[in-house]
Each structure stands twice: as C-alpha cells, then as structure tokens.
C-alpha cells in the first residue's frame, strides 16, 4: 500500500525554514512534495496570475519553486505537476500567526484554500511571532504538527473546509492544549511609510503590523495569546446564512420594487 502523499506550500517562499520544518514534521507519516513561491509572497491572498506566466524551477527531486502566488503553486501542482492526487494539502509553517482578518490577506491560508477548492483536505499552519525565524524556532511547532497528523483521522469531519491552525511560540510543555476558536479581530496599525528610492522617486510601504487584538472570548486572537493551539474551520463559501435570509425576506424584495417596479 502506497504511503500517503502531502502537497506542501506556503507564502514565505520555497527557501523559508518553516516549510522545511513542515516537511520534517510530516516526513515520518507521508511522502511529500514542496511547490512554493520562489520568493516571499506574504499578503497575496487568493490571487492567481492571469496576466503573467508561471516559471517553475526544480530545486530537488521533490522541491519546486514557482514564480507566482501561493494559490498558483497549488493550482499548478495539482493540475500539471503531480501524477498522483495528494491526500492532504498543507500550507506553512508560516512565520507569524494568521488570526482574525489576517485570514483574508494571508497567502498561507490561500494555498490551503486552493487545495480545498480542488476537493482536498487542507490545512494552514502558522507559528506566533514576527521576528526572523531560524529553523530551530520551529522545533516545538514541529512536535505539534507531527502529533496532529499522526491522528489526522480526527480531522475528516472538516472536509470541504480549511483548518487554520495557529501555534503559540512557547515550548510544548507550556502550551495549554488545542481548542476550536472563532476568528477574532486584529488591530492593525495601518501605517503607510513614504520614502525615496536611489533614483529620487517616492515609494510607499504598507505596514499592516500591530500585535494588539480585541479581547473577544473564544476567538483565535485571545486564545493564542493564552498559549492555546487554535483551530478554526474556514469555508470557501463566504455567505452569511443569517443575513442572507434576512435580505431574501425583506430588503431584496423592497429593492426590486424600487428599481424595477415589481418584487
């Protein structure tokens, strides 16, 4: 019987220590292939390259660098590169948490979501912290990931969704456990810095930083700060079912009457 096969990607780039740590974490459980951006693509969201070509470089027998977005990488791997459908798509381990509205911007989440859109079990994994990480910084996260995937049958209930996992940057014995969490709210500083390049042309740099969060109970922002490993189930269907029905039963009819003279 063939070993499971995992497709690994990220948004920190193919050379990031986090994706090599991820390969180490799952290596005893499954075969793996890395298909990741050739440079960092943080904040790229679910973008795909419709007006520029994808260039692909084979770096090793099972490692590929793609000049494109994280979503491009997964799409290319599934539709062109791999001769066997993977059993899981895993994105990470990201340098820095992806909590709250980060999930809308995150290329890490986007790579996992692309796998989900292709009908595959998918997970995005991030490690708390913002400084430059070395491979040694991922030691405890590797232990968590390895244990999760040793018991991956427990995750089958999440088919059709992305599991967004955030791991506190503390030793394993200081983590408080694994909890399911709703999305919280990060407080970005929204700073845009202006500077001048060597040719005298102005440029602007979006900050997007800030470690503050709203203290909303039972959310990923709050629970991660309390040293819990958080898991949030993200759906590719962003419809709000309650508001959807409210609109259907009231506002849509009134708008139709106002615009077209009929409901």
pLDDT digits (tens, 9 = 90+) for 146-196: 999 999 999 988 899 999 999 999 999 999 999 999 999 988 777 788 999
Tell me the per-residue pLDDT of 3-21, one tens digit each, with 9 for 90 and over.
999 999 999 999 999 999 9
Task: Give the pLDDT band (50/70/90) at residue 75.
Answer: very high
Residue 211 pLDDT greater than 80, yes or no: no
List, in order, residues 6 or more apart from 126 with CB less than 8 Å away.
92, 93, 94, 96, 97, 98, 99, 106, 108, 164, 165, 166, 167
Element containing residue 196 per DSSP (H, E): strand 192-196
Please give the pLDDT value at position 188.
78
CA dihedral of 81, 117, 101, 52, whole degrees rounded to 10: 50
Please give the pLDDT value at position 263.
59
Q: Is the peptide bond before 120 cis (omega within 30 degrees of 0)?
A: no
Element containing residue 140 per DSSP (H, E): helix 139-150
Please give the pLDDT value at position 61.
93
Please give the pLDDT value at position 144.
97
CB 67 within 8 A of CB 98: no
CB atoms within 10 A of CB 222: 20
Reference 35, options 212, 5, 234; nearest CA is 5
Please name the residue that has the structure tokens 């791997």: 77
Task: Give the pLDDT band (50/70/90) at residue 210.
Answer: low
- Whole-angstrom Cα distance, residue 48 to residue 41? 12
Task: Give the pLDDT band (50/70/90) at residue 1.
Answer: confident
Provide the pairing of β-strand 31-37 with 63-66: parallel
Q: What is the mean pLDDT of residues 204-229?
A: 87
pTM for the whole structure: 0.92
Please give the pLDDT value at position 93.
98
Provide the pairing of β-strand 192-196 with 88-95: unpaired
Please give the pLDDT value at position 198.
94
Percent share of the chain, pLDDT over 70: 98
Q: 5-186+213-260 sits in which CATH class? A: alpha beta
Residue 209 pLDDT greater than 80, yes or no: no
Burial 4-31 (b: 16+ CB within 10 A, else e): ebbbbbbbbbbebbbbbbbbbbbeebbe
First vs last C-alpha separation in the chain:
59
Residue 142 pLDDT greater than 70, yes or no: yes
What does the mean pLDDT of the chain come to? 93
CB atoms within 10 A of CB 80: 10
- Whole-angstrom Cα distance, residue 58 to residue 42? 22
């Amino acid at each position: 019987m063939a070993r499971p096969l995992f497709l690994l990607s990220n948004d920190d780039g193919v050379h990031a220590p986090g994706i090599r740590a991820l390969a180490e974490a799952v290596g005893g459980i499954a075969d793996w292939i890395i298909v990741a951006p050739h440079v960092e693509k943080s904040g790229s969201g679910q973008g795909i390259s419709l007006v520029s070509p994808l260039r692909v470089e084979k770096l090793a027998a099972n490692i590929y660098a793609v000049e494109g977005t994280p979503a491009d990488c997964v799409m290319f791997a599934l539709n062109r590169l791999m001769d066997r459908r993977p059993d899981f798509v895993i994105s990470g381990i990201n340098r820095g948490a992806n909590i709250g509205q980060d999930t809308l911007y995150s290329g890490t989440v986007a790579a996992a979501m692309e796998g989900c859109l292709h009908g595959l079990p998918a997970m995005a994994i991030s490690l708390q912290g913002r400084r430059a990480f070395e491979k040694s910084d991922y030691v405890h996260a590797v232990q968590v990931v390895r244990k999760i995937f040793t018991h991956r049958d427990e995750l089958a209930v999440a088919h059709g969704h992305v599991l967004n996992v955030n791991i506190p940057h503390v030793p394993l014995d200081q983590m408080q456990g694994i909890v399911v969490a709703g999305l919280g709210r990060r407080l970005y500083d929204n700073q845009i810095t202006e500077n001048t390049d060597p040719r005298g042309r102005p440029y602007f740099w979006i900050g997007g930083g800030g470690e503050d969060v709203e203290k909303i109970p039972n959310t990923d922002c709050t629970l991660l700060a309390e040293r819990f490993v958080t898991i949030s189930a993200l759906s590719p269907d962003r419809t709000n079912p309650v508001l959807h029905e409210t609109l259907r039963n009231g506002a849509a009819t009134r708008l139709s009457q106002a615009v077209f003279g009929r409901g």
